[in-house]
Amino acid sequence: MERTAVLGRLSWRFATVLEVTAETDQTHSIVLDAPDWPGHLAGQHVDVRLTADDGYQAQRSYSIASAPSDEQLVLTVERLDDGEVSPYLVDELRAGDRIELRGPVGGYFVWRPTDAVPALLVAGGSGIVPFRAMLREHGAAMSAAPIRLLYSARTFDQVIYREELLRLAARDGIDVSITLTRAQPAGWHGYTGRVDTALLRQVSWPPEEHPAVYVCGPTGFVEATANALVGLGHDPGRIRTERFGGTS
Amino acid sequence: MVTRGFHGRRRAEVDPARVPPGQYVTRDFPVLSAGPTPRRLAADWTFTIRGAVDEPVVWSFYELRALPATTITTDIHCVTKWSKLDTQWRGVSLDTLLADIDTSADYALAFSDGGYTTNLPLADLTGGQAMIAYEYEGEPLTPEHGGPARLLVPHLYFWKSAKWVRGIELRDDDQPGFWENYGYHNYGDPWKEQRYSGD
Ligand SMILES: Cc1cc2nc3c(=O)[nH]c(=O)nc-3n(C[C@H](O)[C@H](O)[C@H](O)COP(=O)(O)OP(=O)(O)OC[C@H]3O[C@@H](n4cnc5c(N)ncnc54)[C@H](O)[C@@H]3O)c2cc1C
């Protein structure tokens, strides 16, 4: 196996918040200035560390939403109302604040522009974040590998990166399918209902094409989706998963 | 340096002495794995000790179940930051499985269904520190959490407690496993916060 990860010590570094933008009412993107950022691969994440004035610290992992070739490092965080860290990042953090981070972390759930095979990306909720990095990287590198994205969100208003995804969908080689599980706006012509075997059969590459498959989102979503893909005949060894926690 | 406006939401009922640095206590049992959950029936499961031994030794699930079992209550710590206190496991101590095995090896590489591997010093698997667990909280271990059986080495980060474990390879040299090859720490002591290579 190749040794992909950065092997030096991953030290904590300060990053300054340049801008916070609302993606949805629950989800904000945080644009960071991270001096001497060593670079990353699309799909990797960072660890974020916050320190209270009595010295208490909390750490969480967040996928990198920006492509390696983007100028700034971007994280996209969904607020879990009763959570410890995400409400702070979404509601409190503002331009000029400094947070500590280290990374990039994780060398398995990554997509490289040199990957020539078709890829299937299946996202639930904030699980779209690492895929945004992959899709941006795909565009920046003018990759010829065809990509299909299937994205499950509760409502149209909760579709993160909505405008960007609609733009991407118009590009050659990228197919974007969105399914709305709770409610659909009038005239919605995307999919409805949860990701299941029937929808996956319709949207995904056939297993015979040996696509690289990535599944990301809440634990329950990832479990169900990965099981359904295996059931459809996809090679379990080609299905990479990233579980964000939570069970919804 | 203090993060402006961050106060934290410590859970009052938790004894901080039981929570390693950078960890937080959860009541859920989150799942972390690199791919889909393999589903193997206990009847098709075996556990093998191979490598630096005269002859590989193999147990079926039923043979494993027939060995003297131990129940432990312990805290577990995942590198993705959650810790879970007072988890109860039942299984067979590695001391029992290794008792009749004569080896010069210093290292072990655990291997699992799905191709997962993880490496540990053999010394960390003995002395009552590790078991092959097949029950969690009095119930058979579910596939999501590594059933039919998983390795349990609670003093190291939980990725060392290989789910769906099928055996260990005893080795003279230390061969990095799956996550260890992707930049995670080779040893993984949560109390020293050895998350990533170089920590
Ligand atoms: C590799 C990786 C990448 C990730 N990428 C992203 C990303 O890009 N974007 C994103 O938004 N998230 C991401 N996550 C999830 C993120 O790390 C956090 O888990 C998430 O933001 C919630 O953190 P929190 O501190 O707000 O909630 P927490 O305080 O951790 O709580 C999480 C949930 O558990 C419950 N809970 C916690 N402790 C207890 C307790 N003692 N008793 C009862 N209930 C409890 C809370 O009610 C809450 O619903 C990622 C996770 C991983 C592992």
The 10s digit of each residue's pLDDT in A136-184 is 999 999 999 999 999 999 999 999 999 999 998 888 899 999 999 999 9
Among A97, A107, A241, whose Cβ lies nearest the Cβ of B183?
A107
Burial level of B129, CB count in 10 A (0-12/13-18/19+)?
middle
Q: How many Å apart are CA A114 and CA A97, to the nearest integer?
A: 37
Which residue in chain B has the smallest CA separation from A95?
Answer: B4
Inter-chain touch A58–B8, beta carbons under 8 Å: yes
Single-letter amino acid code for the residue at A230: V
pLDDT per residue, tens digit, chain B (199 aa), is 899 999 988 766 788 899 999 999 998 888 888 999 999 999 999 999 999 999 999 999 999 999 999 999 999 999 999 999 999 999 999 999 999 999 999 999 999 999 999 999 999 999 999 999 999 999 999 999 999 999 999 999 999 999 999 999 999 999 999 999 999 999 999 999 999 999 9
pLDDT of residue A248 exceeding 50, the answer is: no
- pLDDT band, residue A245 (cuts 50/70/90): confident
Of B69, B63, B75, the C-alpha closest to B90 is B69
List the domain boundaries for chain A.
Answer: 12-105, 119-244
Query: The domain A12-105 is classified under which CATH number: 1.20.1630.10, 1.10.3720.10, 2.40.30.10, 2.40.50.100?
Result: 2.40.30.10
**Residue closest to B104 by CA, chosen among B139, B53, B56:** B53
Task: Kindly list the residues from chain B whose CB atom is less than 8 angstroms away from the CB atom of residue A219.
Answer: 30-31
CB–CB of B3/A99 below 8 Å?
Answer: yes
If phi > 0 it is left, if psi is from -120 to 50 it is alpha, else beta; for residue A100 that is beta
Could you tell me the pLDDT band of residue A6, with boundaries at 50, 70 and 90? very low
For the segment B83-101, what is each residue's pLDDT rounded down to a tens digit? 999 999 999 999 999 999 9
Helical spans, DSSP H, in chain B: 61-66, 94-98, 178-181
In the sheet that A13-22 helps form, which strands lie side by side, from edge to edge?
A: A57-63, A45-51, A98-105, A13-22, A27-33, A73-78
Kindly report, residue by residue over A37-87, the tens digit of the pLDDT. 999 999 999 999 999 999 999 999 999 999 999 999 999 999 999 899 999
- Cβ burial of A209 (10 Å; 0-12, 13-18, 19+) is exposed
Residues of B in contact with A8 (CB under 8 A): 198
Ligand 1, pocket residues at CB < 6 Å: A 45, 60-63, 76-78, 80, 82-86, 126, 129, 242, 244-245; B 11, 25-27, 80
A119-244 fold: Rossmann fold (3.40.50)
- pLDDT over 50 (residue A129): yes
Picking from A2, A90, A222 by the largest number of B CB atoms within 10 A of its own CB, the best residue to mutate is A222
User: 3-class DSSP state for residue A5?
Assistant: coil
Residue A164, pLDDT score = 96
Can you list the domains of chain B with their CATH numbers?
Answer: 23-28+40-192 (3.90.420.10)
Question: What CA–CA distance (Å, rounded) separates B164 from B147?
Answer: 6
ipTM above 0.85, yes or no: yes
